[in-house]
Amino acid sequence: SATIDVPMLKMLNDREMPAIALGTYLGFDKGGAVTSKDKQLRNVVMQAIDLGYRHFDTAAIYNTEAEVGEAIRMKIDEGVIKREDVFLTTKLWNTHHKREQVAVAMKETLNKTGLDYVDLFLMHWPIALNEDYSHSNTDYLETWRATEEMVKLGYTKSIGLSNFNKLQVATVLQECTIKPVALQIEVHPQIIQEDLITYAKDEGIIVMGYSPFGSLVKRFGMDLPGPKMDDPVLTSLAKKYEKTPAQIVLRWLVDRKVVPIPKTVSPKRLLENINIFDFKLKEEEIEKINQFNSNTRYTLPSFWQKHPFYPFDMVPNPIPDPFRSEMKS
């Protein structure tokens, strides 16, 4: 069977990160994060490893750490991979930002995955919350110092940030003893993140791009404004390179040195999404896709916008906090 060779990117700490990651966030419903039935996700991750995926993106809040870890362990037991051949990224949830909570969360993550260490531990948000989801003033610098301890204890090889704005990244860079190697943010044709990507690159930080398909796919069960699979810019590039519009967009991220994190649970689309390393877009083609930019975010937790460390611009009508309305009902 065809195994794709994924290129590796060198990080600040001289370690390497595979240039594409499989997303494993399955969405939320009233009961919290959706988990897969009958080990569907575990089986998808196992298939992904057979196809050549070597990087998996999970988070404590996704409730998928256990299945991702199980798949990795099973493939190690099968002799398909060694532990050092795979790169596991996971994230600290906002309710565990206090110094002593970070170690607790880290150990819980390792327990769930059944692994001795993870490769990359990201602070999911700069925002600290209490257990009841009320706002906490815990500074992300306190949390960062605690994640640095996780490296020293060998629980994670590398540490990084997610959903931090430029000023917040700069603050961490100024105060840290271990630099963040990665910054995970929303990147797709409608939010091209030119400024933050340039800044991160200049600092040697690798950008990981989440929700890479943007408006190409339905979100929240809806068609949203923006380019679709039949967009003429994308279909003409797809025709030229004998690829699909989805592959063109993923390659657009790769050519901008962003690590895309496409999520799929379909075996067919698993192969499609990783089969992007045998062509390259030209500068003017990248530029053409950049023109879709409208700075549209799909991950916009405006219910946290009064938090002192909220990273995004405020909106006039914040949506109700799903975490808290759930607890009240």
Q: Which residues are catalytic?
A: 62
List C-alpha distances in Å: 45 to 53, 120, 136, 198: 8, 18, 35, 32
Question: How many chain residues are in contact with ligand NDP, going by CB under 6 A?
Answer: 23
Give the span between the Cα atoms of 93 and 59, in whole angstroms: 8
Helices then strands (H, E): number in the chain?
11, 14
Give the span between the Cα atoms of 66 and 239, in whole angstroms: 40
Phi, psi (rounded to 5 degrees) for 145: -60, -40
Min dist. Cβ of residue 261 to ligand NDP (A): 4
Give the residue with the Cβ less far from ligand NDP, 87 or 210. 210
Q: How do strand 55-57 and strand 32-33 relate by DSSP bridges?
A: unpaired
Give the span between the Cα atoms of 207 and 191, in whole angstroms: 14
The token pair at 326 is 């759930």
Contacting range for ligand NDP; rule: CB under 6 A; set: 11-19, 139-147, 189-197, 258-266: 258-266
Applying CB under 6 A, does 264 fall inside the site for ligand NDP? yes
x/- letters, 23..52, toward ligand NDP (CB under 6 A)? xxx---------------------------
Contacting range for ligand NDP; rule: CB under 6 A; set: 30-38, 141-149, 261-269, 276-284: 261-269
Give the span between the Cα atoms of 307 and 72, in whole angstroms: 37
Applying CB under 6 A, does 213 fall inside the site for ligand NDP? yes
Side-chain-facing half-sphere of 153: CA atoms under 13 Å: 17
- When binding is defined by CB under 6 A, the residue of 211, 227, 289, 301 that contacts ligand NDP is 211
Cβ neighbours around 88 below 10 Å, total: 25
Give the residue with the Cβ less far from ligand NDP, 128 or 328. 128
Which residues, 55 to 94, sit near ligand NDP by CB under 6 A? 57
- When binding is defined by CB under 6 A, the residue of 69, 126, 262, 311 that contacts ligand NDP is 262
Beta bridge pairs of residue 87:
55
Which residues, 141 to 200, sit near ligand NDP by CB under 6 A? 162-163, 184
Give the span between the Cα atoms of 232 and 229, in whole angstroms: 9
DSSP 230-260: T-HHHHHHHHHHT--HHHHHHHHHHHTTEEE
Min dist. Cβ of residue 21 to ligand NDP (A): 7
Applying CB under 6 A, does 310 fall inside the site for ligand NDP? no
- When binding is defined by CB under 6 A, the residue of 74, 81, 265, 286 that contacts ligand NDP is 265
Min dist. Cβ of residue 79 to ligand NDP (A): 27
Min dist. Cβ of residue 277 to ligand NDP (A): 15
Give the residue with the Cβ less far from ligand NDP, 23 or 180. 23
Binding site for ligand NDP (CB under 6 A): 23-25, 57, 162-163, 184, 210-213, 217, 246, 261-266, 269, 272-273, 299
